[in-house]
Amino acid sequence: MSQSPTLDTLWYTRCPVPTGLGIAVQKGWLEESFQSQCTNIQSLRESNDQAVRESHFDHTLENSVRHGGNIPAIWARSVGRETRVIGLSWADEVQLILSLPESDIKTPKDLKGRKFGLPKWENVQIDFSRAQAIRGLENALKLEGLQVSDVELVDFVIGGTHSDQPAQQANGTLLFSGATRRGGRNAELLALLRGEVDAIFLKGASAAHVAHQFGLHTVIDVGSHPDPLIRANNGTPRTLTVDLNLLDNHFDSAVRIVDQVVRAEEWAWAHPDETRRFLAKETNSSEYWVTQAYGADAHLRLKTDLAEQSIVALQDFTDFLHRWQFIPNAVDVRSWIDARPLQAVLAEKVKAA
């Protein structure tokens, strides 16, 4: 492979969820791997420029890599952003539909005719919170032969954007501004506790914590269903994406990124305790709730590849987003994928073996 031109600046961003990129950043490996070519490594989410921060959601920034929830990446592709998927990672997490403990809603079939609380962000390009909640609801109802139209949807309007403020560092933990909407309050949760709605959807470590804290009843954990298409949502699978300029003009940098992601994941497999601590930092949570949300084997679930199950599930989820008009244009997942950087990394591993 011929050496591509030197990359002046690489912008990186990841979601507050378990990713190999997040661990590679925390361990300093991403920055270290680019030192020889004097590339400046910059955190997109910590920029003082809101347009730069917004690229976490719309992927407009040139020479950037993003690892995290797939909805913003799918939306960006749908509206014409020239990006490519260079890896997919599948780490199952709890996806909870919750009701009050005294409620008579015990299973998904009990949701028929009841009020379901949903977030509705007014000023964002892609409302991924709403999309993932509807997906969880639709799949839960599907298991009982029901549809979303069988439930009364109640919207809770949220102002501002996900990137109003830069993410802040606190004792090595990146505090994502999008996770602290309205001072950390969750409108749907408050409505549930007040009895204004009958059920809501929450996912991840914060969902496990909230459900325990308020003694909520888990109507269903969609994230533990045996069918991967039922589990497919914003976080399953997560997308590792780069812009096309990076691939075309700095291909070796794209390979270097994948190499560090894979390196971090392989390290995680052998270091469960340290990985749990890293994931607690990534998710702004505790090690206990990381275990509850992502499993005692969370360290083993970190694996970036282009597995057929992940591709099929991502296409199914993309079709859902188009059907619900969260994205304006259909996306063909297979044509969005560029497997060359991953193939290059795997080929080097074979040679080194």
Q: Within this chain, do residues 127 and 197 fall inside the same structural domain, yes or no?
A: yes
- Name the nearest CA neighbour of 222 among 316, 137, 134: 137
Q: Is residue 4 in a domain?
A: no
Q: Within this chain, do residues 258 and 308 fall inside the same structural domain, yes or no?
A: yes
Q: Within this chain, do residues 248 and 287 fall inside the same structural domain, yes or no?
A: yes
Domain count of the fold of the chain: 2
Q: Within this chain, do residues 226 and 263 fall inside the same structural domain, yes or no?
A: no
Q: Is residue 177 in a domain?
A: yes
pLDDT digit string, tens, across residues 26-71: 999 999 999 999 999 999 988 888 888 888 888 889 999 999 999 9
* Domain extent for 207: 95-231
What pLDDT score does 166 carry?
Answer: 55
What pLDDT score does 180 carry?
Answer: 41
The low-confidence residues of the chain, meaning pLDDT below 70, are: 1-3, 161-185
Q: Is residue 215 in a domain?
A: yes
Q: Is residue 2 in a domain?
A: no
pLDDT digit string, tens, across residues 230-264: 999 999 999 999 999 999 999 999 999 999 999 99
What pLDDT score does 46 carry?
Answer: 83
Q: Within this chain, do residues 327 and 226 fall inside the same structural domain, yes or no?
A: no
Q: Is residue 86 in a domain?
A: yes
Say if residues 120 and 158 touch (Cβ distance below 8 Å).
yes
Pairing of strands 168-170, 64-68: unpaired
What are the backbone angles phi and psi of residue 233, rounded to the nearest 5°? -160, -160
For residue 295, give both structure tokens: 């499993």
Q: Is residue 119 in a domain?
A: yes
What pLDDT score does 197 carry?
Answer: 98
Say if residues 214 and 200 touch (Cβ distance below 8 Å).
no
What pLDDT score does 47 carry?
Answer: 85
Q: Within this chain, do residues 153 and 55 fall inside the same structural domain, yes or no?
A: no
Global confidence as pTM: 0.92
Q: Within this chain, do residues 197 and 246 fall inside the same structural domain, yes or no?
A: no
User: What CATH number corresponds to the domain at position 348?
Assistant: 3.40.190.10
What pLDDT score does 353 carry?
Answer: 77
Q: Is residue 3 in a domain?
A: no
DSSP secondary structure string for all residues of 167-228: -EEETTEEE-GGGGGGGG--HHHHHHHTTSSSBEEEEHHHHHHHHHHTT-EEEEEGGG-S-H
